[in-house]
Copies of this chain bind each other. A is one copy, B any other.
Amino acid sequence: MTVELSRRRLLASFGAVAVGASAATVLVERTASASDAVPSDVVPFRGAHQAGITTPAQDRLHFVAFDVITDDRDELEQLLRRWTLAAERMTRGEGAGPVGAVDGLPDAPPDDTGEALGLSPARLTLTFGVGPSLFVDADGRDRFGLASRRPEALADLPGFAGDRLEDAWSGGDLCVQACADDPQVAVHAVRNLVRMGMGVVRVRWAQLGFGRTSSTSDSQATPRNLFGFKDGTSNLRAEETAELDTHLWAQESDGAAWMAGGSYLVARKIRMTIETWDRTSLKAQEEIVGRDKREGAPLSGGTEMTAPVLGELPPTSHVRLAHPQSNNGVRMLRRGFSYVDGADSLGRLDAGLFFLAFQRDPRTAFVAVQRRLAASDALNEYLVHVGSALFAVPPGPGEGDFWGSTLFA
C-alpha cells in the first residue's frame, strides 16, 4: 500500500511539474521531502499510542519544554484541551485555530500565525509529555493533586559520571516534540502552542534539530550522525511489533494504569567535541565506535545489518557497550536529531546530538545503559551531556480525549 500511494503521488507530482505552476511545484517539493517510503503527508493524530514515536522518523525537529506557571488545575486542563484540538488541526495541515491567520476578525489577533499557510502537513507529529516536576515540585509540594499518580518509572534520573548538565537545557513540567519533514511546519506548530499557552505555561527551553540520526522503521535508510558514522542501526523499529510491548509501551501491569499505551521519553542534549574528533585517525574512530565508517558494519565483520560479535569488538567501543546483549537485552526506540546552535565563545561549532529515546521503563533501560556508557564508553572523550529531561508520554488520545486526559481523569 505504501508503494501504491507513493506511485500516485509521484505521478501527480510529475504532472504538476510539467505544467510548471508554482503552487504545483511546491507540492512536488513538499510531497517528496516526506522521506523514504511514506504513505501520506498526514500522520493520524489520534489512536492507541501518540504519533511521533513509532512514526518513521521525520527529517526535522523542534522540541520544547515548558514550565507550568499557574497553580490552577482547571486552567492547565483547559489549556491541554485547547492544545489538543490545535495540535490535531495542525497535523492535518490546517491552522491552529478555527478562524485562522487570514480569515480572522480584523480587530482580533489571528488564531494562527500564518507562516505555514500553503505548506503541506509534512508528516507533522506533535507528541506530548509530562515531567516529574508536574507531580511534585522541588519543595515536595503536590502542585495539582497529581502526586499519587506519579508512575514509579518516572523516577528522577540519577547523575552520571561526566555529566555537565545545565539548567538551561534540563527539566520541564511539560514537553512537546514536534517532528516534520519541513522545519517551518515544526516551528509553526511549536510557536502556535507557545502562543496559546501564554499565562499558563512558559517555555523553559527549546531545541531545533536539523537532521534525524535514527531510523524507526525498516523503510528508512540509516542516517549518519555528526561523527560521520551511521547511527541507530540496531534501533527498535515500528515493524518489530512483538518487541514494542516488551520494550516501548507502558503496560497496565506496570502500575500506573493511566500510562498504559504510553511510553517514557529521555531527552539528553549531548554536545560533541567535533574538533577533537576530526583530528582522530580513521582507525581510532572505527575502534571507538566499533563499526567501520563506510558501511557501518561491525568490526567483527559482515555488513551494516549483521549482528556484531561483541567479544571481537574493542572492549570500550560504543557498539559493544551499548548493545542489548551487554544490557540484559534492553532496547529503546531512539529518535534523536543532530543540532548546530552556532558557535561557542571559543569559536568551536556548538554542535551535537539531541538524544531522544522512548522506552517502557527508564530505570531498566536508559539509566542502566547510560551507567555503563558513562563509566567506560571510549566515545566519552568526544561527548559532554549538557542537558537532561525525563517525561511520561501518555497514551494516544482517542476521540474526544485530550493530551493527558487519562492522568487528569
Measured CB to CB, the residues of A under 8 A from B are 3, 6-7, 10-11, 13-14, 17-18, 20, 22-23, 25-26, 28-29, 31-37, 60, 62, 64, 67, 101-110, 112-118, 168, 183-184, 187, 190-191, 194-195, 198, 202-208, 210-211, 219-221, 224-229, 274-275, 278-283, 285, 292-294, 338, 340-343, 345, 347-349, 351
Contact = CB atoms under 8 A, between A and B. Distances in A.
A105 B403 CA distance: 53
Given A60-B183, A187-B338, A208-B208, 16 more contacts: A7-B14, A7-B18, A11-B14, A20-B37, A25-B37, A67-B347, A101-B282, A102-B292, A106-B281, A118-B224, A184-B210, A184-B211, A187-B226, A195-B278, A198-B275, A206-B343
Contact of A211 (B3, B13, B108, B183): B183
A11 B219 CA distance: 20
Give the one of A3, A275, A278 with max B CB within 10 A: A278
B3 A10 contact: no
A101 B277 CA distance: 12
Copies of chain A in the complex: 2
Nearest to A29: B35
B104 A282 contact: yes
B17 A37 contact: yes
Given A224-B118, A283-B107, A60 B210 contact: yes
28 contacts: A6-B17, A7-B17, A10-B13, A13-B32, A22-B221, A103-B294, A106-B282, A107-B281, A109-B278, A109-B279, A109-B282, A114-B229, A115-B227, A183-B210, A184-B211, A184-B224, A187-B210, A187-B226, A187-B340, A191-B226, A191-B274, A191-B349, A194-B275, A198-B275, A206-B340, A206-B349, A208-B208, A210-B210
Contacts of A29: 32-36
Contacts of A278: 109-110, 113, 195
B37 A191 contact: no
Nearest to A282: B104
Given A32-B13, A221-B22, A206 B280 contact: no
Q: Which 3 A-B pairs have the closest CB atoms?
A: A114-B228, A32-B32, A102-B294
Nearest to A107: B281
A203 B114 contact: no
A26 to B, nearest CB: 5
A338 to B, nearest CB: 7
A283 B106 contact: yes
A14 B5 CA distance: 11
Nearest to A278: B195
A280 B22 CA distance: 30
A110 B104 CA distance: 56
Given A20-B3, A219-B25, A225 B282 contact: no
Given A37-B17, A183-B210, A204-B347, A282 B195 contact: no
B13 A208 contact: no
Contacts of A347: 67, 202-204
Contact of A204 (B32, B191, B343): B343
Contact of A340 (B62, B67, B101, B281): B62
A194 B349 contact: yes
B203 A281 contact: no
* Most B C-beta atoms less than 10 A away, residue of A14, A28, A190, A342: A342
A190 to B, nearest CB: 8
A114 B293 contact: yes
A17 B3 contact: yes
Contacts of A202: 347
Contacts of A64: 343
Nearest to A31: B32
Nearest to A33: B33
Contacts of A117: 224, 228, 294
